[in-house]
């Protein structure tokens, strides 16, 4: 069994998106354009409504998947095909945009804490024009695995110790874990070999690796080298996302909310959207 070690540590940077939502952008920055198959990672966390109240009014997506995972607060999702969904603390929406949807993601609160993540996961060329699909997962459907030593892991997708997450049928065969270390704790987590994997720390700080140890603090993302497992140690309470996916190794043509393989496909996406074909 080969241990995965840290190859790069990067810090998220402040960003504004939607109609004026202030957040931290972790992937899709000048330092880290993407991490195949992951195209973007945002953390939104604020108890000031001015940071989130504007929300994300109607906007399109084509060619990839958007994953929203909430820690606190409430959001409402609505799309142009009549689908609606409510996102509350601990819930997940895994949306396969495929050939295209137009949707809005708006806060359902006027004050209080709003905290969560949005991850964009690429689709292989063969799936970019697939039918849109939603997996709306309530918090109660996300299983929790105890890893001993006060480590609790929520399994959103992928498998840990024989427990599978509720999100299924995703092309890049991802692993999405939310890990909480309660005190002084230690976890050894298997990750499929060949997958690109990262840890994003959102509370406290952790040490990644035994043989070669790196400290990773709140707001930092650690990109891991290849291997079969990752060892994590925390001297104090810490929380982090551990995410992995099969890299696609395909050409990337990217224009805002459209992510395709070629510029021609981007032009087609813009044309289709502007002609109301989504
Ligand atoms: Mn969106």
Q: What is the pLDDT of residue 189?
A: 97
Query: Residue 2 Cα, ligand 1 centroid: separation in angstroms?
Result: 37
CA of 66 to the centre of ligand 1 (A): 7
From the CA of 61, how far away is ligand 1's center (Å)? 7
CA of 173 to the centre of ligand 1 (A): 22
CA 146: distance to chain centroid? 22
Q: Looking at the predicted structure, is the pLDDT value of residue 160 above 80?
A: yes
Q: How far is the CA of 263 from the centre of ligand 1 (A)?
A: 21
Count of C-beta atoms within a 10 Å radius of residue 133? 14
* Digit-coded pLDDT (tens) for 203-258: 999 999 999 999 999 999 999 999 999 999 998 999 999 999 999 999 999 999 99
Q: Based on the number of CB atoms within 10 Å of its own CB, is 157 exposed (0-12), middle (13-18) or buried (19 or more)?
A: buried
Per-residue burial over 95-124, b = 16 or more CB atoms within 10 Å of its CB, e = otherwise: bbbbbbbbbbbbbeeeeeebbbbbbbbbbe
Element (H, E) at 277: none
Cβ 52 vs Cβ 34: under 8 Å:
no
CA of 13 to the centre of ligand 1 (A): 20
pLDDT in tens, 181-214: 998 889 999 999 999 999 999 999 999 999 999 9
Distance 58 CA to ligand 1 centre (A): 8
Q: Tokens 């000048």 sit at which residue?
A: 30
Domains of the chain, start order: 6-274 (2.60.120.10)
Phi, psi of 126 (to 5 degrees): -65, -20
Query: Which value, in Å, is the radius of gyration of the alpha carbons in the chain?
Result: 18
Tell me, in angstroms, the distance from the centre of ligand 1 to residue 103's CA: 6
pLDDT for 60 equals 97
How far is residue 220's CA from residue 240's CA, in Å, rounded to a whole number?
10
pLDDT of 149 above 80 = no
**274 Rama class: left (phi>0) / alpha (psi -120 to 50) / beta:** alpha
For residue 105, how far is its CA from the centre of ligand 1 (angstroms)? Answer: 7
Higher pLDDT, 36 or 1: 36
Per-residue pLDDT at 13: 96
pLDDT in tens, 43-96: 999 999 999 999 999 999 999 999 999 999 999 999 998 999 999 999 999 999
DSSP 122-172: E--GGGTTSPPEEEEE-GGGS-EEE-STTEEEEEEESEETTEEPSB---TT
Confidence at residue 148, expressed as pLDDT on a 0 to 100 scale: 79
Q: What is the pLDDT of residue 46?
A: 97
Beta-carbon count within 10 A of 164 CB: 12
């Amino acid at each position: 069994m080969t241990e995965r070690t840290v190859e790069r540590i990067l810090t998220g940077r402040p960003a504004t998106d939607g109609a004026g939502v202030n957040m931290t952008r972790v992937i899709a920055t000048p330092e880290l354009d993407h991490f195949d198959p992951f195209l973007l990672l945002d953390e939104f966390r604020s108890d000031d409504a001015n940071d989130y109240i504007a929300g994300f009014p109607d906007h399109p997506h084509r060619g990839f998947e958007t994953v929203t995972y909430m820690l606190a607060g409430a959001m409402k999702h609505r799309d142009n095909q009549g689908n609606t969904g409510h996102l509350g603390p601990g819930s997940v929406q895994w949306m396969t945009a495929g050939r295209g949807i137009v949707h809005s993601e708006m806060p359902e609160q006027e004050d209080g804490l709003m905290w969560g993540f949005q991850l964009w996961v690429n689709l292989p060329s063969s799936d970019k024009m697939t039918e849109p699909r939603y997996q709306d997962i309530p918090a109660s459907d996300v299983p929790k695995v105890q890893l001993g030593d006060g480590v609790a892991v929520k399994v959103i997708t992928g498998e840990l110790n024989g427990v599978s997450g509720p999100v299924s049928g995703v092309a890049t065969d991802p692993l999405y874990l939310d890990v909480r270390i309660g005190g002084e704790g230690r976890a050894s987590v298997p990750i499929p070999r060949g997958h690109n994997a990262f840890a994003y720390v959102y509370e406290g700080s952790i040490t990644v690796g035994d043989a070669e140890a790196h400290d990773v603090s709140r707001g930092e993302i650690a990109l891991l080298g290849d291997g079969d497992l990752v060892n994590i140690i925390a001297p104090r309470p810490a929380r982090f996302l551990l995410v992995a996916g099969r890299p696609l190794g395909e050409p990337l043509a990217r224009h805002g909310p459209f992510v395709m393989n070629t510029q021609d496909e981007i032009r087609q996406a813009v044309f289709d959207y502007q002609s109301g074909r989504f």
